[in-house]
A and B are shown apart, each in its own frame.
Chain A
Amino acid sequence: MSERTFVGGIHPSYFKESTAGMPIAPARSPSQVIIPLHQNIGAPCEATVKVGDEVKIGQKIGEPKGFVSAPIHASVSGKVIKIEPYNHPLGNPVNAVFIENDGQDTPYEVMKPNKPLEELTPEEIIKISKEAGLVGLGGATFPTHVKLSPPSDIVIDTVIINGAECEPFLTADHALMLERADDIVYGLKAFMKALRATKGIIGIEDNKPDAVESMKRAIAEGGGGYDIEVHTLHTKYPQGAEKMLIKATTGREVPPGALPMAVSVVNQNTGTAVAMAEAIKLGKPLYERVVTITGPGVKEPANLIVRNGTLVKDIIEQCGGMTDDARKLILGGPMMGLAQPTDDVPAIKGTSGILILTAEYVKDYSIAPCIKCGKCVEVCPMNLLPNFIGSASEKENMDLAEKYGAMDCFECGCCTYTCPARRPLVQWIRIAKGEITARRRK
C-alpha cells in the first residue's frame, strides 16, 4: 500500500522508545479523587451529588447543562467529602467533586451490559455513548454523542479511527491497538452503525507495524459484515490531526471553518472506540483511561490505566517519581500538550499523557524578529501564513490576523517548532483567536 499523507508537517524526534510496547497496567487506586465538573469542550456539568453522599463506582456525579456536553461519573466508590473549585489542567480552577475512596470499588447497580451490537439501533448507540459520558480521548474532548448525531441533511459515509498517534513520547494509543484491537474494531462498528456509515478506516503511522498487524488481525476476526480497512500512513507530525488524517486516508479536504462532517466523515480516537466498546459490552461509563507517563524526567515510564480525578503527583509517584533535574510538566504530548504550573492537578478525560522534561529539554530562548525565511509557511499543514498571523497578533491587529485565517489554525505547533528566530507563533495565534472569538460574541 502506498504511503498516504498530507502537505506540510514536521519530523520531530519521536522519543517513543521508553514506553513503546509496554503492557498497559492499572494504576494504584488513589485514596482520594478530585473530579472536575468540566472535562469536555462545551458546557460544564452540574453536580448531582451532595457533600456526605455515598457514591459507587460508575455513578453519575455531574449532569451536563447543554447539548454539547457529557456527564461525569465517579471513578471510585466512597464518600463525597467536598465540592469546591480546584486546579484544572486547562488553567483556571473549576468546581470539582472530592471523593474519599473506600477501596471497595463497589459497582453502581445501573452499570450492566447492553444488548449485543447487532440488536442495537443507531439511536440506542448514541444514547449509550451519551450516558457513558464519552468524549474524544485524543485530547480535544469533544462529546462523542454530538459527533454521532449529525444534522439530518448530512450523510456520513466514512468513520475514521485515529491510530496515528503522531505526538512524540505518547504510546497510549499504540498500546491499545496491540492489546485491545478487538474492542477498537467493536467500537468502530458501533460508530459506523450509529452513523449508518458504509466504510471504516483505521489510520496508523508506519512506525507502528506491530499495531498495523494487530488491527488487521482483529478486523479479519471480528470485522464481519463491515467494510473496514487499515491505512498505513507516513510518519509525520501532525498526521493524527483530524483534517490531516481525512486528507491522508480519503483524499477529501475539509473546507476552512467547517467540521469533518462537511465531507461526510467522522473521526474518532482509538481510546474512544475502546470506551464505546466497554460502554456497550459492560455498561461501563468513561471513568478511567490509558495514560502514558513518560519523559526523561520520570524514573519509570509506563502506560497506566488512570482513574478520572487522580492527582498527577500520585501517578508520578507510582512511576518512581521525578528525577532531580526535572523542570517541566506537560499534560498531553510535547507539541500540543499543556504545561502545568503544579503537579497538584487531577488527570481528566482528555489527559492522554503525563510528560516530564528535564533541564536539557527546557530552554529559554529570546524572541528575535522574523527573518522571513518562510519555514513556518512550508510546514503549516493548514496552508496558512503563521508568520503574518503572528506578526499581526503581535501588533494587536486582530482584523488582519483574522483575514489571514487565524481561526483555521488548530495549534499543532509546527510553525513554532521550526522557527529559527524562536518566535512563539502559536501563542500569538492563540491570543488572536481568543480576541476574535470574544469580538464575534459581542
Chain B
Amino acid sequence: MDFVAAFVIIGGLGLIFGGLLAYTAQRFAVEEDARVETICDLLPGANCGACGFPGCINFAEKVVKGEAAVDCCVPGGKGVCDNICEVLGVESVASEIKKMAEVYCIGTKDVAYDKFVYHGVPDCKAAMMYGGGFKACKYGCLGLGTCVGICPFDAMHMGANGLPQVDVERCTGCGVCAKACPRGVIRIVNADRTGKVVLCNSKDRGKATRQACEVGCIGCKACVKACPNEAVVVEDNLAYIDSTKCDDCGKCVEACTRDIIKNAVKIALS
C-alpha cells in the first residue's frame, strides 16, 4: 500500500504549490496595458531601431505612455501609424509619403581614386580610422558595405561596381544605413519624387574634387545657369536639385560637365 502514500504526498504537494501559484499570480499581478501587446503585434517586428528605441516592444510601451510620437515607426509607414492611432483612439497624423534610402555617390573604383591601399577590417567605420579613409575623396562611398551589413530589411546589396545598391521594393526608409554610414553618403528621400538628382556628396573645392574623382561635382554652377525653374542651388561646392521645382526638362543634364546628374526614378528603380 506504499504507493497510496506516495500519491497522497506528491498530489498534496502539487495542490499546495498550485494553490500558492494561483494566489501569487493574482495577488502580485503586474498591471500591464493590454494595448502594448496589441500595438507591438501591429509593428513590423524588425527591431531596426529607426524610431530611436532599442526594439519594437520598447516603442510600443513608450507610445502607449504618450512618450513617443505615433508616427515614429518609419518602416511601418502610414498603415502602421493609422493602426496605432486606432488602438490609442487618436487622430492619425501620418503623411502619405513613403521614404527610401539613396546613395549619393557614383564614384566607382575605376573613376574615384584611392590614396593608399587599405589592408584591414572590411568595414567603412574601421577604414575611416586610418587617414580618414582610403579614398582620395573625403566624402565619397568607401564601398566596404557597413550599410549592407546593418540594413534590417535586406534592402541594401553591394553592387559589382563597388557601390551599394538600394532595393527600392524592400527599403522602408528607416534610415539605419544613413546613420551608420561614416561618410554620410546615404540620404533618406521621398520615394515618389521625380526629376533629376545630383549623385555626388563632395563638398570639396573644384580642384580637390577633380584630383580625387572623375565624376565628382565641382560646384561649377553650369546646372544652376541651365535650369529654367531655379530648382538647382549650389551650397558648399555641391549642387542640389529641389524636386518640387524640377520639371524634368533635362537641361541640367546636358549642361553638367561631370555627368553626375541622373534621372531620379530610373536610378532608384534600376
Q: Measuring CB to CB, which residues of chain A are less than 8 angstroms from any residue of chain B?
A: 91-92, 339-342, 364-365, 367, 394, 424, 427-428, 430-431, 434
Contacts and interface: CB of A to CB of B under 8 A. Distances in A.
Contacts of A365: 119
A431 B129 CA distance: 8
B125 interface: yes
A364 B121 contact: no
B93 to A, nearest CB: 31
B132 A428 contact: no
B69 interface: no
B6 interface: no
B120 A427 contact: yes
Interface string B60-99: 0000000000000000000000000000000000000000
A427 B120 CA distance: 7
B145 to A, nearest CB: 14
B131 A340 contact: yes
A430 B129 CA distance: 9
Q: Is the interface of A mostly helix, strand, loop or mixed?
A: mixed
Contact of A91 (B121, B123, B125, B130): B130
B126 interface: yes
Q: How large is the interface on B (under 10, 10 to 19, 20 to 34, 35 or more residues)?
A: 10 to 19
Given A424-B121, A427-B121, A431-B121, A342 B115 contact: yes
B129 A434 contact: yes
A430 B119 CA distance: 15
Question: Which 9 residue pairs are nearest across A and B when measured between Cβ atoms?
Answer: A341-B131, A341-B116, A364-B119, A427-B121, A341-B115, A424-B120, A91-B131, A427-B120, A424-B121
B54 interface: no
A330 to B, nearest CB: 12
Contacts of A434: 129
20 contacts: A91-B129, A91-B130, A91-B131, A91-B132, A92-B132, A339-B116, A341-B115, A341-B134, A342-B115, A342-B116, A364-B117, A364-B119, A367-B121, A424-B120, A424-B121, A427-B121, A428-B121, A431-B121, A431-B123, A434-B129
B122 interface: yes
Contacts of B125: 431
A368 to B, nearest CB: 13
Interface string B95-135: 00000000000000000000111011111011001111010
B251 to A, nearest CB: 38
Contact of B122 (A91, A367, A430, A431): A367
B122 A341 contact: no
A431 B131 CA distance: 15
Contacts of A428: 121, 126
Nearest to A88: B131
Nearest to B116: A341
A428 B123 CA distance: 10
Contacts of B130: 91, 339, 341
B147 to A, nearest CB: 14
A430 B125 CA distance: 11
Nearest to A91: B131
**Among A341, A394, A424, residue most surrounded by chain B Cβ atoms (within 10 Å):** A341
B125 to A, nearest CB: 7
Contacts of A91: 129-132
A427 B144 CA distance: 15
A431 B130 CA distance: 11
A439 to B, nearest CB: 14
A166 B125 CA distance: 31
